Structure 1
Amino acid sequence: MDQTIADRRLVTILVADVVGYSRLIGADETGTLRRLKALRRDVIGPSIAASKGRIIKTVGDGFIAEFGSAVRAVNCAISIQQGLARHEAGIAEDRALRLRIGINLGDVVVEPDGDLYGDGVNVAARLEPLSEAGGICLSRSVYDQVRDKLRYPFQDRGKLELKNIARPVGVFSLPASAIADLTDTDEQVPEPVKTSNRKPWKATAVGAGFLTLLAAGGLGWWSWTASKAPAPNQTIAAKLAGETREAPRLSIVVLPFSNLSNDPEQDYFADSITEDLTTDLSHLAGSFVIARNTAFTYKNKPVDVKQIGRELGVRYVLEGSVRRTGEKVVLNSQLISAETGAHIWSDRFDGDRSRLGDLQVEFVARLARSLDVQLTEAESLRSFRERPVNLDASDLAMRGWASLNKQRSVANNNEAVQYFSQALKLDPNLPRAVLGLSRALMNKVINRWSEDIQADIEGSDGLITKYIEKFPSDAAALVVKGDVFRSNKHFDAALAMYDAAIVANRNFAAAYALKGHVSLLSGKAYAAIPSEIEAIRISPRDPLVNVWYYFVCHAHTHMAQWEEAIAWCNKCVAISPFWQAYIDLAAAYAWTGRAYEAKAAVSELLKLMPGYTVKKWATAGWSNHSRFLEEYQLIVEGLRKAGLQEE
C-alpha cells in the first residue's frame, strides 16, 4: 500500500485582513476594490518580495503569507502597515483601508500544491482579530526570535486562550501609534520597504478576522468570507474581563475583610480598612493590584482562591478579618497563592483605634518583606494614615466613604455629603473628610444631580485644592481635580491630572477610564481606547465596567468605525442597559443600513429615556472641541436615519 508521509516544516506565518471590508464594499464597491488592488500591487506584493516571503493564499480582503525568518516577517508587516498609511493618506477615515495582522512561528503541514495548514497557521489566524486596526499581534514564539534583533516597543498582553487552540498563547502587540512613529533607525534589518510621510494613526480597533477554521476529520481547512465584526465575547475586552492569561509576578487582589465585631453596623469599618490596604499595596514596587470595586463583588460569597486567580489574572489573594471592641482593633490576615491555594504568610495586628494608620503601614511593610519587594513612598503612606485629631470625626468620614461606595444614586451621595459635613464640623482639617466631600460634590455635578452646578464645582475645587497642597501625590485627589477641570471643559488640564493620578497609583482603574474619556472629549478618539482597555484590565468586574465598554464603543463611533462600535456597545448593554450605548447602536446600525436593528435600538433607548429626541442629543453640550463636534454630528445624523423623533 502506498503511504505518503506529509511534508512538514517550521515557518513564520503572517495573516492579514481588511478591517470593516463589508462596510467599505457596501459604501463604495468600485472605489474600494480599485484601491485594494492598488494596495496589493504597490505595497503588499513588493513588501513580501523584499522580505523573501511567499503569499500562500489571497481571497477577497485578506491573505496568508509564509516567511523563512521571523525577523523578516515582522519587518514586512511593519512595512505593509506604514505603506498602507501612506497609500491611504488623504482618504476620509470612514473610507480608508486598514489592516490587522497576526504573526506566528510554528510547525505546519505542506500540501503538494504548496498550501499550508495546521496549528502554525491557526494561531496566526486567531491572533489577527486581536490586533488593532493598523497594528500587529504576534505570538511569543515570534517575539522570542525578534526581541534581541528589533528595537520595536512591543506590548506584552500575557497569555490568552485562543479559540480552538489547545494551550494558552503568549501574545505581544505593536499598536498602530507605535508603528506610525517608527523611524528607519528603529530597526536593524534592511529588508522592509522604506516609506515616508507617514500618516498619524487615527484608528484603533479590536474586531474580527476574515478566517473561519472548520474541523473536518481531525484536520483543518480554510473557509474565506468577507470581514465581519466579532461576537462581543470574542473581543479582547472579553479576554481581559476574566479569561486566563499569565499573571504579573506581584499581582494581588485584596478581598473584603470580614467584620468579626458583634455589631453588623461595623461593616463600614472593615470595608474602610480593605480599601486603604488596596491603595497602600499599589505602592509596592512592580505591583498589579485589582481595583477595590472589583474585589468587593466577592463580598459575603464563598471564595475559591484558585478560581479568583483565574478570573482576575492574579497570583495572590489577600483575605482577613477585623474585630473592633470599643477602641481596640484587631486585624488578622493571610496571603494565599492563587495558583496552589497554599498559605504563604499570615499575621496579626492589634492596637488602639487611634493607631489604626500606623497598624496599616506596618501591615503593608510586613507583607512587602514576605514577598521580597521594596515598599516605596513609606513616609508618604504614613502621612496619608496619620492619626486623626477626633476619632468621632474619623468614624463619620469612614461612614461617608461607605455611602459613596454603595450603588451610585442621589440618596447615597447625599448621605455621604451629610457624613462628611458632620465630620468636618468636628475636625475641619480631617483629610479623609475633605477628600470625600470634594468627591461627593463632583459626583453631583457629573451625574447631573446638582441644583447649583457652579456652586458645587467651586465648593469641590476649594476643598480639593487645599487637600492637594498637603497630599500632592494622592491619586484619588488628582482624579477629583481632573473632574473639576473636565466639568469646566478644560480638557488639557483634566488630562494632565488624570496622568498625574496614574503616575501616583498605576493601579487606579478610574484614572485610566477618565483619561480615555477626556481624550475623546478633546477630539482624540483614537487615543481613548488603550486607556479604557487598561481600566477594564485592572477592574474587570467594576460596577462601572459597562460604562467603560461604552467609552470604547463611543470612540469607535466618533471614528465612524461602525462595526467595532456595534460590537463594544453590545458588550456594554449585555452587562447592564445603558441609554447612551443605545444612542450609538442606533446611529451605527443606521449608517450600516440595518434599519430593523436601528429601530430596535431606538426602542430600547426610549424605554430608558422616555421622550428622548434628536435635539436633546444634539444640544447635550458634552464638549466644545471642534473635532469632537464634527464627529458628533455623524451620530446626530445617524439618529435621524434610525427614526428617533426630532423634537
Structure 2
Amino acid sequence: MRYIFENYAFDTDRRELRRGTEVIAVAPKVFDLLDYLIDNRERVVSRDDLISAIWEGRVVSDVAVTTRLNAARKAIGDSGDEQRLIKTFPRKGVRFIGTVHETAGPAGATASGSPEPGFAAPDRPSLVILPFANLSPDPEQEYFTDGVTESLTTDLSRMVGIFVIGRNTAFTYKGRHVDLKQIGRELGVRYVLEGSVQRVASRMRINVQLIDAETGNHLWAERFDKPIADLFDMQDELGARLANQLGTELVTMEARRAARAPHPDSMDLYFQGMAYVNRGSDPVNLSQAREFFEQALCLDAGNVDAMVGTAFVDATRGTSMLTGDRTARLMAAETTLAKVLAHKPNHAMAHCLMGVVQIFTKRAAQGIAECERALALDRNLATAYAWIGLGKCYLGRAEETEAYVMNAFRLSPRDNRAFSWMNIAGAAQSYLAADEAAACWYRRSIETNRNVAPFVHFFLAAALAHLGRIEEARASVQAGLALDPNFTLAHFHASSPTDNPTCLAQRARIGEGMRRAGLPEG
C-alpha cells in the first residue's frame, strides 16, 4: 500500500519513505510507528495503543515513545511545535491529521514522463485544486478564500478512487500565472480545479471550473451564490456542496474515459458502475451497475469499492421493495458489508449502508449509530443524515426527521439521491398525520424521479385518502400496482421495519388510508 500526503510517498510494501525523488532514511520502529498512525488516522491513538502495536506490549518508557514520535515528525518535515501532520492531544494520545490518499498503483510522473514517487500517475483519476482567487476589494477576505480552498481539498480527498494533490503543494502556485497544462505535467494530474471568490454587497459568489489538464479544455463550471452568514460555516458548507457535486461530475467523466479504454482495469469498471448508480435507482440502471461491479471484482477480488457498490445495489433494491426477495437482498448486502468493514473499518459508505440495512431490519438504533459513524468519517456524506432521519421514524420519533433531511439537502442540494430524501420526509409527515405535507413531499419525489419505487405511490394514496381526495388516491394506488401488481395491504403490514409501538400505531393509520384508497386487502 502507498500513502500519499503533501509531497511525501509512504510505501508499506517497500518500507520506503520518499519526499519527491528523495528517499528518506527511517529507522524500522519509526517506520512502523508512522505506518500505524497513518493507518489509524481517523482516531486518536493512545501511548498504550502504540506500545501494544509497535513494541508488542513490551515494557517501554515514555521517553522511548516520545523519541520515536519526534523522529517520525522529523522524517516528514513536522515538529512538536508545528504539529502540522502529527498532532498531540494532551492526556489522550496522538493522531495523524494530514490529508492522505491511499493507492496500490505505481508512482506518478514528472514533466518529462519519468516516474516520480509522491505524485499521482496520469493514467489514474487525479486532481489538483489551485488556490482560489480573491476578487473582493477587501484583502481581509483572503483568509476566507484560502479557507474555502483548504476545506474543498480536504473534502475531495475522501472521494473513492480520486487522488487529490495536498494543500501545501497546491499552494505553491498561489498568485502565479502558470499554464494549466504545465501544472498537469508537473504534478502528474488529470484534472485542475480553479475558482474565485467575490463578496458582492451582502452575498458571497463563488465561481469554479474544472479543466482537463491534458488538453486544457473546460469540462464543467458552476456558480454558487449565498447570503453572507458565519464565514466559517460558509467555508464548510460551500466545500461540502462543491465536493458532492464535483464528485458526481468526476465519476461521469472517468466512466466515459473508461468506456473508451481498450483494456479497462478494475477501477475503470468500478467508475462505469458508479455512473449507472448516479443515473438512477430503477432496476435497469441498478442491474447494469451491478454487472460492472462484478466485472471489476473478477479482475480484482480485493476491490473494496466495487464490493461496496454491489452492496449498494442490493440494499437499494431491498429498501425499495415491499414484496419479493426484499429480506434476501438486505441480508446479502449486510454479508458483503461485514466483509468490507473487517478489512476497511473506516470505510464511511460501508458504515452508512450497514446502517441502512439495520434500519430496515428492525435495528433502527444500531442503524442510526452506524450512520453517525459514517458521518464521523466523512462529514459530507449527506445521505447518512437522511437515513438517520428515517431511523428516527422507526423509533417513534418522526418529529425529529425533517431536520436531518434538511441537513442532507444543505450539504448536497442537487444530489442524485434527493428523491429518496423526499420520500423519507414524506414518510415522517405521514407518521405524524400531516397528510398535506406528506402528499407534497411524495409528489416532489415523483416529479424529480419518474422511476420511484412503488411504495411512494401507495403512501401518497394513503395521504390523499385521509385528505378526502379519494379519486386521486385511487389513481395513485393504480400507479403503484402498475409497478408492483402483487402488492396488498397484508404485504404492507408484514413488511413493517419496526416493533416500536408508536410507529406501529402510526403505520396502522397509513394502512387504513391505503385501504380507503382501494388497495387490495390480500
State the structure with bigger RCO (CA 8 A, min sep 6), 1 or 2: 1
Name which one, 1 or 2, has greater alpha-carbon Rg: 1
TM-score, reference length from structure 2 = 0.48
TM-score, reference length from structure 1 = 0.40
